[in-house]
Amino acid sequence: MKAQATLEELAALFGGKVEGDGSLPIRGIASLEEAGEGEITFLAESKNRRRLEKTRASAAIVPANLPSFPKPVIRTPNPYLAYAKVQAFFQQKPLAPRGVDSRAFIGGGVKIGRDVSIYPFVYVGEGCEIGDRAVLHPGVYLGESVQVGEGSLLYPNVVVMDRCVVGKRVILHPGTVIGSDGFAFARDGAKFVKIPQVGIVVIEDDVEIGANCTVDRASMGKTWIKRGIKTDNLVQIGHNVIVGEDTVIVAQVGIAGSTEIGNRVALGGQVGVVGHIKIGDGAMIGAQAGVGQDVAPGQILSGSPAFPHREWLRAQAAFQKLPEMKRTLAELEKRIKALEERITEEKE
Amino acid sequence: MKAQATLEELAALFGGKVEGDGSLPIRGIASLEEAGEGEITFLAESKNRRRLEKTRASAAIVPANLPSFPKPVIRTPNPYLAYAKVQAFFQQKPLAPRGVDSRAFIGGGVKIGRDVSIYPFVYVGEGCEIGDRAVLHPGVYLGESVQVGEGSLLYPNVVVMDRCVVGKRVILHPGTVIGSDGFAFARDGAKFVKIPQVGIVVIEDDVEIGANCTVDRASMGKTWIKRGIKTDNLVQIGHNVIVGEDTVIVAQVGIAGSTEIGNRVALGGQVGVVGHIKIGDGAMIGAQAGVGQDVAPGQILSGSPAFPHREWLRAQAAFQKLPEMKRTLAELEKRIKALEERITEEKE
Amino acid sequence: MKAQATLEELAALFGGKVEGDGSLPIRGIASLEEAGEGEITFLAESKNRRRLEKTRASAAIVPANLPSFPKPVIRTPNPYLAYAKVQAFFQQKPLAPRGVDSRAFIGGGVKIGRDVSIYPFVYVGEGCEIGDRAVLHPGVYLGESVQVGEGSLLYPNVVVMDRCVVGKRVILHPGTVIGSDGFAFARDGAKFVKIPQVGIVVIEDDVEIGANCTVDRASMGKTWIKRGIKTDNLVQIGHNVIVGEDTVIVAQVGIAGSTEIGNRVALGGQVGVVGHIKIGDGAMIGAQAGVGQDVAPGQILSGSPAFPHREWLRAQAAFQKLPEMKRTLAELEKRIKALEERITEEKE
């Protein structure tokens, strides 16, 4: 059974301002097209106002500046954020911890907090510490001495190798691997000798990592995923990489070893970043770009290799005209030759 | 024990025309080089006829227009398709369902069809429905209320999250994740607030998805993988994406949220597609391309950003000559300057 | 309890030359900054000598040509290799096989060597052969008749499908899938018919494959990963690919079907290689390159499509100047036109 709330109660979740009957009971939130009687909907931007007019919802969350509307509304500068909070409210489930299933394996010396859910076929290695309310879904593997903070959610088949540290309220999506060996070999003639990877991975609080990602443990020291980072699926983060707070990493990005990424950086889909460089705070890297050297804070880059986005746009536009430029060049060469010959003739 | 068939019976599998002894018994199919006595082989294209002459196979599937050949043959316009059907015939195993292993976990209210195979260490959440003859290999996880259609094959460690729907005769290769959360956050100052992902993934009949792929659930509504789609490994499909029937997606492709891909589209390896665009029916996108805007039906694009393939080929050819063009340009500038000076001198 | 050794004993591990007290006891190796009393450190390159001066380590491994140093040192031409060997010495654990856990599933006719560790929730299919000292971590799946050589290490949730062969001392990182079906379909009008993939994967000795990689089984015959190959994470290797000895493949590379890669090749991160080509021994392919045709031995390529790296560097430099070139071209055209008019005027 899902939660129910009055319009006034919902507005309080995000500090919105109610217009109309604040005691109206609401039982869910849905899109403009799909919301029905008894539900609230939301309009992200005033320019799409027409779509709002047709909604069957009983109320709407709307931008602060929207003209008046016949149904009850909650005004807010950020309707999308309001949607996130209201949807989370309706989706919340009463805490129903399953405890430790008898078909899970729990190693010696493991400390387990209160109200956890440890499903069948979970493997928890010796000396692990699992915080209150943590959820370990089926097939999760924790190596020796792994720490998982309170409220963290490890989806099915997540692997966290020995000694790695996962903070509080972290979400690791299915199949993600934390703490596999970094890719490091010393040459011995034609052969390669493995460099033991004795470091760990530290994932700070409120991080969310997508499905089937890989985050390698450090050669020495730590690979460091700081507070609030969000990554999409199939992302690769190499050994000893540091990623700053609130950075966003889109799907299939690869970051090579020992690179340091600042706070609030955005890396677009399929971006590649070489090792041993720094990307400054607030930088934005366009999809499929290849970053080969340091990036100053706030820079916006595209291309492979990457350079400033605006210049890249112009260069790309010119690129598509290259065959034409080549023809023009050949033609100009002919005209110059003709001029040179005429002038020489005249002189003679 | 594998099957055996006469030449005539094999021809009937794909509507081929036998030349020679149709009662010849055949016990397997192999390549031109590896087939031996009692086996049949196949020649995909007439131009490789020489390789056929050396085969030790007792018979061959050949293109309809191949000149006469001394051994028994089956003629067909599409020998490769014939190979697929004949090989499938020889590879088929008698149905030997394992039933539900006692080491699997089956939640409450689960409905299980006939002749299924549910291996050890499979987790089936509450309220799931598993169709007849479905096979769930070890380590498969189904969340709550997942539906798996008849004859579908979920390889080891496949994860299907709550409420997702998998059609009939679907193949999901190992490690693939269906229904992980879409990548969606609302900004709240510098921080990100998670948008609950309340939609699902629907996979229609006869879809095959490669190993270690990820298909995100919709924010609201559904991510929709239509009938007959084939994807290779490590493919990422974002939330609310729609992929049309019989579309082919090669390895490591990424498709961002809410994009709609038509029927019979082909996406080459490592292609990236941005969110919220449409790719029309029958379009073909070359490997590593980056698609940033709508693509009309039937278009063939390459490059990042992508543009028509033929123009891209010419632009790429010119790109490799760019340093030379730059030198030519500098040289022409000098020659023009010289001309300008000569003309001015002459005037004086 | 970790191992301890004298300086002389450590030097013997890699053939280094001790200067100072060879009987000095050493209990570990760490970086220049982190090593303390009783530990040894290493200096990879003489140019970083300054950082060595501040170390608190009791001894150091140094390049052969480093000037004299006040603490005991071991000289060697390859300090990084020496580090790998010394670190491996200190990290080695006494062999403590766990045997076969009762919560693992072992199929009929399985042969298991001595001193293995088979963890809970491992599935070993019928007829598998597991060599001495092999380790199968939780969630590992071996299909029917899989061979795993002695001393090989399969990390959690690794999947090896039917009949594939894994050599000796192989390391497969978590979530990696060996032997999923190759991506092969025959067209039947608009639909695709699956080509049964009846081949296998052979992984030779001393191979290391990263986390969440995929290596497809051959259509017929074998996909062949030769001795000593190292791959990073999220790498895709298609059916019937052959990869030569001691080749290095960085993260997120994709290699399409039937391509043959030589020995000692290096493929940079996110490289894509089309099917049915050959890359010669010792070739190097830069990150994000797209290789569309044969590559001669020893070639160094970059770009998509790839061409010789030096030419690519020049073309890329010119690319960034393209808008300027375009302006120059337009300007020259004007100047030529002006010249043409002046000459024509003068003539008149």
Q: Does A330 touch chain C (CB under 8 A)?
A: no
Q: pTM value?
A: 0.96
Please judge whether B84 and C194 are an interchain contact, meaning their C-beta atoms are less than 8 angstroms apart: yes
B341 touches chain A (CB under 8 A): no
Residue B151, phi-psi category: left (phi > 0), alpha (psi -120 to 50), beta (remainder): left
pLDDT at A343: 84
CATH 3.40.1390.10 in chain B, residue ranges: 5-91
pLDDT computed for residue B168 by the predictor: 98
Q: Is B287 on the interface with A (CB under 8 A)?
A: no
A232/B contact by beta carbon, under 8 A: yes
Of the candidates A204, A163, A207, the residue with the CA atom closest to the CA atom of residue A181: A163
Chain A residues with CB-CB distance to C319 below 8 A: 315, 319
Q: What is the pLDDT of residue A48?
A: 86
The string of pLDDT tens digits covering residues B89-118 is 999 888 899 999 999 999 999 999 999 999
Which residues of chain A carry a pLDDT beneath 50? Answer: 1
| B233-250 average pLDDT score | 98
C186, B339: Cβ pair inside 8 Å?
no
Asked whether C58 and C37 are in contact (CB, 8 A), the reply is: yes
Go through chain A and tell me how many residues it has.
Answer: 348
- Output the six-digit token pair for A120: 């069948």
Q: Is residue C126 exposed (0-12), middle (13-18) or buried (19+ Cβ within 10 Å)?
A: middle
Contact of C62 with C82, CB cutoff 8 Å? no
* Residue of chain B with shortest Cα separation from A171: B181
Alpha-carbon gap, residue B229 to B172, rounded angstroms:
12
List, by residue number, the catalytic residues of A: 239
Q: Decide which of 3.40.640.10, 2.60.120.10, 3.20.20.70, 2.160.10.10 is the CATH code for B99-309.
A: 2.160.10.10
The predicted structure's pLDDT at residue C345: 78
The reported pLDDT for the residue numbered C137 is 98
Burial of B92 (0-12, 13-18, 19+ CB in 10 A): exposed
What residues in C contact A193, CB-CB < 8 Å? 81, 84-85
pLDDT score, position B1: 42
- A256:C252 CB<8 A: no
Q: How far apart are CA C220 and CA C240, in angstroms?
A: 8
- State the pLDDT confidence band at C1, using cuts at 50, 70 and 90: very low
Write out the residue limits of the CATH 2.160.10.10 domain(s) in chain B. Answer: 99-309
Looking at residue A1, its pLDDT comes to 41
Average pLDDT of the segment spanning C3-27: 95
Q: How far apart are CA C139 and CA C175, in angstroms?
A: 9
If you measure CA to CA, which chain A residue comes closest to C303?
Answer: A304
CATH architecture of B5-91: 3-Layer(aba) Sandwich (3.40)
* C-beta of residue B187 within 8 angstroms of C-beta of residue B169: no
Q: Do C216 and B233 touch (CB under 8 A)?
A: yes
Contacts of A30 in chain B (CB under 8 A): 220
Could you give the percent of chain C with pLDDT greater than 70?
99
pLDDT for the residue B95: 84
Please name the member of B88, B228, B287 whose beta carbon is closest to the beta carbon of C192.
B228
Q: Which residue bears the tokens 């405890």?
A: A99
* Chain C contact present for B264, CB below 8 A: yes
Identity at B69, one-letter amino acid code: F
Interchain CB contact of C304 with A (< 8 Å):
yes
Alpha-carbon distance of C208 to C172, in angstroms, equals: 6
Tell me the nearest-neighbour CA distance from C239 into chain A, angstroms. 21
Neighbours of A259 (CB within 10 A): 21
Q: Which of C194, C236, C325 sits opposite B234 (nearest CB)?
A: C236
Radius of gyration of chain C (CA): 28
ipTM score for this prediction: 0.95
- Arithmetic mean of pLDDT, C18-23: 96
Q: Are C24 and C38 in contact (CB under 8 A)?
A: no
* Least reliable range by pLDDT among B290-294, C64-68, C120-124, C132-136: C64-68
As a whole number, the mean pLDDT across chain C is 95
Beta strand pairing call for A135-136 and A153-154 = parallel
**Is the confidence at residue B61, as pLDDT, over 50?**
yes
Residue B278, min C-alpha distance to chain C (Å): 21
Say if A312 is an interface residue toward chain B (CB within 8 Å): no
In this complex, the residue of B138, B175, B252 whose CB is nearest that of residue C236 is B252
Q: Please report the number of interchain residue pairs, chain B to chain C, with beta-carbon separation below 8 angstroms.
A: 183
Please confirm whether the linkage preceding B174 is cis (ω < 30° from 0): no
Query: For B195, which of A84, A316, A336 is closest by C-beta distance?
Result: A84
When scoring B171, B252, B285 by the number of chain C Cβ atoms within 10 A, the one with the most, hence best to mutate, is B252
Read off the pLDDT band of C306 (50, 70, 90). Answer: very high
Reference B156, options C164, C242, A117, A209; nearest CA is C164
pLDDT for residue C347: 66
Q: Is the pLDDT of residue B161 over 50?
A: yes
Find the mean pLDDT for residues B62-69: 91
When pLDDT is averaged across residues C56-60 and rounded to a whole number, the result is 96
Which residues of chain B does A287 touch, with a Cβ-Cβ cutoff of 8 Å?
272, 274, 290, 292
Q: How far apart (Å, rounded) are the C-alpha atoms in residues C15 and B198? A: 62
For the stretch A140-190, pLDDT in tens is 999 999 999 999 999 999 999 999 999 999 999 999 999 999 999 999 988
| pLDDT-based confidence at residue C95 (cuts at 50, 70, 90) | confident
Of B287, B320, B326, the CB nearest to C290: B287
- pLDDT score recorded for residue A348: 61
pLDDT band at residue B72 under the 50/70/90 scheme: very high
Catalytic residue among C173, C239, C276, C309: C239
Closest CA to A156 of C216, B241, B147, B179: B179
- Residue pair B76/B14 in contact (Cβ under 8 Å)? The answer is yes
Query: Chain C neighbours among B 181-200 (CB < 8 Å)?
Result: none
**How far A2 CA lies from chain C's nearest CA (Å)?**
35
Strand B191-194 and strand B185-188: the pairing is antiparallel
Of A228, A240, A237, nearest in space to A200 by CA:
A240
Subunits with 3+ Cβ pairs within 8 Å of C are A, B
Q: Do C270 and A270 lie within an 8 Å CB cutoff?
A: yes
Of A98, A92, A73, A57, the C-alpha closest to A18 is A73
